[in-house]
Amino acid sequence: MPARYLVAVVGRRDYGCASELVCEVPDDFRPHPGQFVHVACGGDGRILRRPFSVFDRGEGTASILVREAGEGSSWLKRRGPGDRLDILGPLGRGFDLCAEGGRLLVAGGAGIAPLRFLAKRLLEEGETCLVAWGMGEAAEYGVLPDVLKKEADVRLACLDGSGGHAGSAVDLAMQLDRESAGQVYACGPREMLLSLAARMEEVDREGLARLQVSVEERMACGVGVCRGCAVPVAEPPGAYRAACSDGPVFRGDELDWMRMAALT
Ligand SMILES: Cc1cc2nc3c(=O)[nH]c(=O)nc-3n(C[C@H](O)[C@H](O)[C@H](O)COP(=O)(O)OP(=O)(O)OC[C@H]3O[C@@H](n4cnc5c(N)ncnc54)[C@H](O)[C@@H]3O)c2cc1C
Protein backbone atom coordinates (compact mmCIF):
# COMPACT_ATOMS: atom_id res chain seq x y z
CA MET A 1 0.00 0.00 0.00
CA PRO A 2 1.36 3.45 -0.85
CA ALA A 3 1.70 5.89 2.04
CA ARG A 4 -1.18 8.34 2.41
CA TYR A 5 -0.76 11.70 4.10
CA LEU A 6 -3.05 14.58 5.01
CA VAL A 7 -0.66 17.49 4.73
CA ALA A 8 -1.08 21.16 5.64
CA VAL A 9 -0.38 23.76 2.98
CA VAL A 10 1.97 26.24 4.65
CA GLY A 11 2.98 28.39 1.73
CA ARG A 12 2.07 29.32 -1.78
CA ARG A 13 4.05 31.16 -4.47
CA ASP A 14 2.47 32.30 -7.71
CA TYR A 15 4.56 32.15 -10.87
CA GLY A 16 2.45 33.29 -13.80
CA CYS A 17 0.48 30.29 -15.10
CA ALA A 18 1.61 28.06 -12.22
CA SER A 19 1.62 28.10 -8.42
CA GLU A 20 3.94 26.34 -6.02
CA LEU A 21 2.18 24.81 -3.01
CA VAL A 22 4.49 24.23 -0.06
CA CYS A 23 3.27 21.55 2.36
CA GLU A 24 4.39 20.39 5.78
CA VAL A 25 5.50 16.76 5.49
CA PRO A 26 6.75 14.22 8.02
CA ASP A 27 10.37 13.00 8.09
CA ASP A 28 9.46 9.69 6.51
CA PHE A 29 8.31 11.44 3.33
CA ARG A 30 11.49 10.86 1.29
CA PRO A 31 10.93 11.40 -2.43
CA HIS A 32 13.53 10.64 -5.06
CA PRO A 33 13.75 13.12 -7.99
CA GLY A 34 11.21 12.15 -10.64
CA GLN A 35 8.74 10.61 -8.20
CA PHE A 36 5.27 12.10 -7.90
CA VAL A 37 2.38 12.46 -5.47
CA HIS A 38 -1.21 11.57 -6.33
CA VAL A 39 -3.40 14.38 -5.04
CA ALA A 40 -7.13 14.28 -4.26
CA CYS A 41 -8.52 17.36 -6.00
CA GLY A 42 -11.54 18.38 -4.00
CA GLY A 43 -14.49 16.08 -4.73
CA ASP A 44 -17.25 17.63 -6.89
CA GLY A 45 -17.28 14.42 -8.95
CA ARG A 46 -13.50 14.43 -9.34
CA ILE A 47 -13.03 10.91 -8.02
CA LEU A 48 -9.60 10.32 -9.58
CA ARG A 49 -6.51 11.78 -7.98
CA ARG A 50 -4.16 13.90 -10.13
CA PRO A 51 -0.40 13.25 -10.41
CA PHE A 52 2.07 16.04 -9.58
CA SER A 53 5.84 15.70 -9.49
CA VAL A 54 7.74 16.63 -6.37
CA PHE A 55 9.17 20.09 -7.10
CA ASP A 56 11.16 20.53 -3.91
CA ARG A 57 11.89 18.88 -0.56
CA GLY A 58 13.11 21.21 2.20
CA GLU A 59 13.36 21.17 6.02
CA GLY A 60 10.04 19.64 7.04
CA THR A 61 8.38 20.68 3.78
CA ALA A 62 7.84 19.49 0.23
CA SER A 63 6.26 21.33 -2.67
CA ILE A 64 4.52 20.79 -5.98
CA LEU A 65 4.24 23.15 -8.93
CA VAL A 66 0.70 23.26 -10.31
CA ARG A 67 -0.14 24.49 -13.77
CA GLU A 68 -3.83 24.84 -14.52
CA ALA A 69 -4.89 22.30 -17.16
CA GLY A 70 -8.49 21.43 -16.25
CA GLU A 71 -10.89 21.29 -13.30
CA GLY A 72 -8.70 19.36 -10.86
CA SER A 73 -5.55 21.42 -11.29
CA SER A 74 -7.62 24.62 -11.25
CA TRP A 75 -9.01 23.63 -7.83
CA LEU A 76 -5.55 22.67 -6.59
CA LYS A 77 -3.85 25.83 -7.87
CA ARG A 78 -6.21 27.87 -5.69
CA ARG A 79 -5.21 26.14 -2.42
CA GLY A 80 -3.14 28.03 0.14
CA PRO A 81 -2.15 28.22 3.81
CA GLY A 82 -4.91 26.84 6.01
CA ASP A 83 -5.88 24.15 3.48
CA ARG A 84 -5.01 20.47 3.74
CA LEU A 85 -4.15 18.12 0.91
CA ASP A 86 -4.78 14.39 0.76
CA ILE A 87 -1.80 12.85 -1.03
CA LEU A 88 -0.48 9.38 -1.86
CA GLY A 89 3.22 9.04 -2.36
CA PRO A 90 5.97 9.41 -3.15
CA LEU A 91 5.05 7.16 -6.10
CA GLY A 92 6.73 5.69 -9.15
CA ARG A 93 10.26 5.18 -10.36
CA GLY A 94 12.37 8.33 -10.45
CA PHE A 95 15.49 9.33 -12.36
CA ASP A 96 18.71 7.32 -12.22
CA LEU A 97 21.29 9.76 -10.88
CA CYS A 98 24.24 7.41 -11.22
CA ALA A 99 25.15 8.45 -14.73
CA GLU A 100 28.55 9.20 -16.20
CA GLY A 101 29.52 12.36 -18.08
CA GLY A 102 27.71 15.70 -18.29
CA ARG A 103 24.08 16.13 -17.40
CA LEU A 104 21.59 18.01 -19.52
CA LEU A 105 18.05 18.51 -18.21
CA VAL A 106 15.38 19.33 -20.82
CA ALA A 107 12.00 20.64 -19.66
CA GLY A 108 8.88 21.60 -21.54
CA GLY A 109 6.50 23.88 -19.59
CA ALA A 110 5.48 22.42 -16.22
CA GLY A 111 7.87 19.55 -16.98
CA ILE A 112 10.37 21.74 -15.14
CA ALA A 113 8.89 20.43 -11.84
CA PRO A 114 10.71 17.08 -11.50
CA LEU A 115 13.83 18.46 -13.21
CA ARG A 116 14.18 21.29 -10.70
CA PHE A 117 14.16 18.75 -7.88
CA LEU A 118 16.66 16.64 -9.83
CA ALA A 119 18.94 19.65 -10.45
CA LYS A 120 18.89 20.52 -6.74
CA ARG A 121 19.78 16.97 -5.75
CA LEU A 122 22.61 16.79 -8.32
CA LEU A 123 24.05 20.10 -7.12
CA GLU A 124 23.81 18.96 -3.48
CA GLU A 125 25.83 15.89 -4.47
CA GLY A 126 28.51 18.09 -6.03
CA GLU A 127 27.53 17.36 -9.65
CA THR A 128 26.96 20.01 -12.28
CA CYS A 129 24.09 20.22 -14.73
CA LEU A 130 22.71 22.38 -17.48
CA VAL A 131 18.96 23.00 -17.77
CA ALA A 132 17.15 23.83 -21.03
CA TRP A 133 13.61 25.00 -20.26
CA GLY A 134 11.15 25.62 -23.06
CA MET A 135 7.96 27.66 -22.88
CA GLY A 136 5.69 29.67 -25.15
CA GLU A 137 6.78 33.12 -23.99
CA ALA A 138 9.27 34.41 -21.42
CA ALA A 139 6.58 35.84 -19.08
CA GLU A 140 4.62 32.55 -18.88
CA TYR A 141 6.10 31.39 -15.55
CA GLY A 142 6.53 34.86 -14.00
CA VAL A 143 9.73 35.16 -11.97
CA LEU A 144 10.31 31.40 -11.70
CA PRO A 145 13.05 31.35 -14.39
CA ASP A 146 14.95 34.04 -12.41
CA VAL A 147 14.51 32.06 -9.17
CA LEU A 148 15.83 28.88 -10.78
CA LYS A 149 18.72 30.67 -12.51
CA LYS A 150 20.06 31.49 -9.03
CA GLU A 151 20.21 27.74 -8.27
CA ALA A 152 21.49 26.27 -11.53
CA ASP A 153 22.63 27.05 -15.07
CA VAL A 154 19.18 27.46 -16.66
CA ARG A 155 18.82 28.43 -20.33
CA LEU A 156 15.39 29.42 -21.66
CA ALA A 157 13.90 28.62 -25.04
CA CYS A 158 10.83 30.68 -25.97
CA LEU A 159 8.77 29.78 -29.00
CA ASP A 160 7.81 33.42 -29.61
CA GLY A 161 11.43 34.63 -29.32
CA SER A 162 10.69 36.81 -26.26
CA GLY A 163 13.62 35.46 -24.24
CA GLY A 164 16.63 33.15 -24.43
CA HIS A 165 16.85 30.87 -27.45
CA ALA A 166 14.16 31.64 -30.05
CA GLY A 167 12.65 28.24 -30.69
CA SER A 168 11.93 24.96 -28.95
CA ALA A 169 13.57 23.39 -25.91
CA VAL A 170 14.55 20.44 -28.11
CA ASP A 171 16.47 22.65 -30.57
CA LEU A 172 18.26 24.33 -27.68
CA ALA A 173 18.97 20.96 -26.04
CA MET A 174 20.52 19.55 -29.19
CA GLN A 175 22.89 22.53 -29.34
CA LEU A 176 23.81 22.10 -25.67
CA ASP A 177 24.16 18.32 -25.98
CA ARG A 178 27.14 18.89 -28.28
CA GLU A 179 28.90 20.44 -25.24
CA SER A 180 27.84 17.94 -22.56
CA ALA A 181 27.25 14.69 -24.57
CA GLY A 182 26.34 12.90 -21.36
CA GLN A 183 23.07 11.87 -19.77
CA VAL A 184 19.96 13.74 -20.94
CA TYR A 185 16.98 13.92 -18.56
CA ALA A 186 13.67 15.18 -19.96
CA CYS A 187 10.10 15.90 -18.93
CA GLY A 188 7.37 17.60 -20.93
CA PRO A 189 4.48 17.00 -23.29
CA ARG A 190 4.55 13.78 -25.31
CA GLU A 191 5.21 15.67 -28.59
CA MET A 192 8.33 17.19 -27.04
CA LEU A 193 9.60 13.82 -25.83
CA LEU A 194 8.92 12.24 -29.25
CA SER A 195 10.88 14.98 -30.98
CA LEU A 196 13.76 14.76 -28.48
CA ALA A 197 13.96 10.97 -28.77
CA ALA A 198 14.05 11.19 -32.58
CA ARG A 199 16.84 13.80 -32.49
CA MET A 200 18.85 11.85 -29.89
CA GLU A 201 18.64 8.74 -32.04
CA GLU A 202 20.03 10.73 -35.00
CA VAL A 203 23.02 11.94 -32.96
CA ASP A 204 24.55 8.53 -32.34
CA ARG A 205 23.63 4.89 -31.83
CA GLU A 206 23.82 5.31 -28.06
CA GLY A 207 21.60 8.42 -28.14
CA LEU A 208 18.49 6.78 -26.74
CA ALA A 209 20.47 4.92 -24.06
CA ARG A 210 21.74 8.31 -22.79
CA LEU A 211 18.18 9.60 -22.45
CA GLN A 212 15.83 9.32 -19.46
CA VAL A 213 12.29 10.65 -19.89
CA SER A 214 9.49 11.25 -17.41
CA VAL A 215 6.25 10.63 -19.31
CA GLU A 216 3.20 12.76 -18.54
CA GLU A 217 0.56 10.16 -19.37
CA ARG A 218 -3.00 10.41 -18.12
CA MET A 219 -3.29 8.16 -15.09
CA ALA A 220 -6.04 6.96 -12.82
CA CYS A 221 -5.05 4.73 -9.86
CA GLY A 222 -1.38 5.81 -9.77
CA VAL A 223 -0.22 2.48 -8.34
CA GLY A 224 -0.12 0.12 -11.35
CA VAL A 225 -3.44 -1.61 -10.82
CA CYS A 226 -5.82 -0.14 -13.42
CA ARG A 227 -3.29 -0.10 -16.32
CA GLY A 228 -4.92 3.11 -17.59
CA CYS A 229 -1.53 4.74 -18.15
CA ALA A 230 0.10 1.91 -20.13
CA VAL A 231 2.97 2.96 -22.41
CA PRO A 232 4.50 0.77 -25.16
CA VAL A 233 7.95 -0.65 -24.47
CA ALA A 234 10.55 -1.97 -26.89
CA GLU A 235 11.08 -5.32 -25.11
CA PRO A 236 9.36 -7.70 -25.30
CA PRO A 237 7.90 -6.52 -28.62
CA GLY A 238 4.27 -5.42 -28.30
CA ALA A 239 4.39 -5.13 -24.50
CA TYR A 240 3.23 -2.25 -22.32
CA ARG A 241 4.30 -0.96 -18.89
CA ALA A 242 2.38 1.18 -16.41
CA ALA A 243 3.66 4.77 -16.48
CA CYS A 244 2.64 5.25 -12.83
CA SER A 245 4.49 2.30 -11.26
CA ASP A 246 7.08 1.11 -13.82
CA GLY A 247 7.72 4.81 -14.64
CA PRO A 248 7.06 7.68 -14.91
CA VAL A 249 10.79 7.69 -15.72
CA PHE A 250 11.95 5.36 -18.51
CA ARG A 251 15.25 5.09 -20.35
CA GLY A 252 14.92 6.29 -23.92
CA ASP A 253 15.77 2.85 -25.29
CA GLU A 254 13.16 1.15 -23.06
CA LEU A 255 10.23 2.76 -24.88
CA ASP A 256 8.83 1.91 -28.31
CA TRP A 257 8.74 5.41 -29.81
CA MET A 258 6.87 4.36 -32.97
CA ARG A 259 3.99 3.09 -30.87
CA MET A 260 4.34 6.05 -28.44
CA ALA A 261 3.64 8.34 -31.42
CA ALA A 262 0.46 6.41 -32.15
CA LEU A 263 -1.01 6.83 -28.63
CA THR A 264 -4.00 9.17 -28.56
C1 LIG B 1 3.83 11.64 -13.37
C2 LIG B 1 3.17 12.98 -13.69
C3 LIG B 1 3.65 14.12 -13.08
C4 LIG B 1 3.05 15.35 -13.35
N5 LIG B 1 3.55 16.46 -12.75
C6 LIG B 1 2.99 17.65 -12.96
C7 LIG B 1 3.51 18.82 -12.31
O8 LIG B 1 4.50 18.76 -11.55
N9 LIG B 1 2.88 20.00 -12.54
C10 LIG B 1 1.79 20.10 -13.38
O11 LIG B 1 1.25 21.22 -13.54
N12 LIG B 1 1.28 19.01 -14.02
C13 LIG B 1 1.85 17.79 -13.82
N14 LIG B 1 1.33 16.68 -14.43
C15 LIG B 1 0.12 16.85 -15.28
C16 LIG B 1 -1.11 16.91 -14.34
O17 LIG B 1 -1.25 15.68 -13.67
C18 LIG B 1 -2.38 17.17 -15.20
O19 LIG B 1 -2.29 18.47 -15.74
C20 LIG B 1 -3.61 17.05 -14.32
O21 LIG B 1 -3.80 15.72 -13.93
C22 LIG B 1 -4.81 17.52 -15.12
O23 LIG B 1 -5.97 17.32 -14.30
P24 LIG B 1 -7.22 18.28 -14.45
O25 LIG B 1 -8.32 17.77 -13.63
O26 LIG B 1 -6.80 19.70 -14.22
O27 LIG B 1 -7.53 18.20 -16.01
P28 LIG B 1 -8.61 17.33 -16.74
O29 LIG B 1 -8.23 17.33 -18.19
O30 LIG B 1 -9.96 17.77 -16.37
O31 LIG B 1 -8.35 15.88 -16.17
C32 LIG B 1 -9.13 14.80 -16.51
C33 LIG B 1 -8.39 13.51 -16.27
O34 LIG B 1 -7.26 13.41 -17.12
C35 LIG B 1 -6.08 13.28 -16.37
N36 LIG B 1 -5.10 14.14 -17.04
C37 LIG B 1 -5.34 15.24 -17.78
N38 LIG B 1 -4.20 15.74 -18.29
C39 LIG B 1 -3.20 14.95 -17.87
C40 LIG B 1 -1.79 14.95 -18.06
N41 LIG B 1 -1.15 15.84 -18.81
N42 LIG B 1 -1.08 14.01 -17.44
C43 LIG B 1 -1.67 13.09 -16.70
N44 LIG B 1 -2.99 13.01 -16.50
C45 LIG B 1 -3.76 13.93 -17.06
C46 LIG B 1 -6.42 13.70 -14.98
O47 LIG B 1 -5.67 12.99 -13.99
C48 LIG B 1 -7.87 13.35 -14.86
O49 LIG B 1 -8.03 12.00 -14.49
C50 LIG B 1 1.93 15.44 -14.24
C51 LIG B 1 1.45 14.28 -14.85
C52 LIG B 1 2.08 13.07 -14.59
C53 LIG B 1 1.57 11.83 -15.24
> How many of the other CB atoms lie within 10 Å of CB of 45?
6
Length of the chain equals: 264
What is the pLDDT at residue 100?
Answer: 74
Contact indicator for 144, 169 with CB cutoff of 8 Å: no
Distance CA 44, CA 58 (A): 32
Average pLDDT over residues 216-243: 93
- Mutational test site, ligand 1, from 50, 68, 112, 115, max ligand atoms within 8 Å of CB: 50
Task: Quote the ligand 1 centre to 51 CA distance (angstroms).
Answer: 6
Contact indicator for 150, 175 with CB cutoff of 8 Å: no
Q: What is the DSSP string of 135-162?
A: ESSTTTTTTHHHHHHTTSEEEEEETTSS
Task: Quote the ligand 1 centre to 218 CA distance (angstroms).
Answer: 6
Q: Closest residue (by CA) to atom 19 of ligand 1?
A: 69
Q: How confident is the model at residue 258 (pLDDT cuts 50, 70, 90)?
A: very high
216 lines ligand 1 (CB under 6 A): yes
Which atom of ligand 1 has the smallest separation from the CA of 69? 26
Average pLDDT over residues 241-251: 96
Fold held by 4-91: Elongation Factor Tu (Ef-tu); domain 3 (2.40.30)
Distance CA 164, CA 115 (A): 19
2 φψ region: left (φ > 0), alpha (ψ -120 to 50), beta (else):
beta
Q: How confident is the model at residue 192 (pLDDT cuts 50, 70, 90)?
A: very high
What is the pLDDT at residue 178?
Answer: 72
Distance CA 106, CA 129 (A): 11
Name the average pLDDT for the chain: 94
Positive/negative CA dihedral, 102, 108, 114, 119: positive
* DSSP H or E stretch at residue 91: strand 84-91
Contact indicator for 64, 54 with CB cutoff of 8 Å: yes
Average pLDDT over residues 135-163: 96
**Bigger pLDDT: 208 vs 2:** 208
Q: For the chain, what are the domain ranges?
A: 4-91, 103-262
245 lines ligand 1 (CB under 6 A): no
48 lines ligand 1 (CB under 6 A): yes
Fold held by 103-262: Rossmann fold (3.40.50)
Task: Quote the ligand 1 centre to 68 CA distance (angstroms).
Answer: 9
Q: Which of 94, 188, 262, 209 is nearest to 173 (CA)?
A: 188
Task: Quote the ligand 1 centre to 58 CA distance (angstroms).
Answer: 24
